[in-house]
Amino acid sequence: MNSTDTRAAPGSGFTVFETAIGWCGIAWGPGGIAGVQLPESDRERTLARLQRRFPSWRQAAPPPEVQQAMDGVVSLLRGEQPDLAAVSLDMAAVPAFNQRVYGVARSIPPGQTLTYGEIAARLGEPRLAREVGQALGQNPFAILVPCHRVVAAGGKTGGFSARGGVATKLRMLALEGAATPQLLPLFD
């Protein structure tokens, strides 16, 4: 995931919250959600990662729209299938190509997958599968931009830059009911 270091604007903040598979974090600003931290094994690790990503921001109580996004993430990681596509994301610092990739990724329903090549084709850029993978590796909005639903061709899982790597990706796909080659524990 990309490191995000933007100055804290009024209305910006971050918080951590517990899910069925660990502690997640979320940061927000006036333009929407600025970042999501995938599950860690404990609250302190998640908080430390958010503080590194958003060093000038402060922990705060989430506004109602952020709380709704958090509730959706909790629901998803409990094995339910909420629609998170409408959550407002602050993409001001996100490159245009990545924004396009994230738009396609957000259209993948829970329990389904697309390949990097299929996303590239949907963008009208069929030879840019590798660049799609790189954009997803920089995804600051993991879960809300469900990069875990993007796999490699030929039934391979592809990479995953979050803590736990591919094991985390497979666990999240399994929670959603997607067909996965194997189920691995989230934390060793």
Q: Which residue has the tokens 């958090």?
A: 70
Output the CA–CA distances (angstroms, integers) from residue 122 to 15, 89, 103, 160, in the order listed.
35, 21, 11, 21
CA distance 153 to 118: 9
Instruction: Scan for tokens 């209305």, then name that residue.
Output: 11
Residue 24 is a catalytic residue:
no
Determine which one of 34, 143, 147, 151 is catalytic.
Answer: 147
CA distances from 111 to 128, 150, 176 (A): 25, 11, 5
Would you tell me the crossing angle of helices 129-137 and 96-106 to the nearest 10 degrees? 90
Catalytic residue ranges: 147
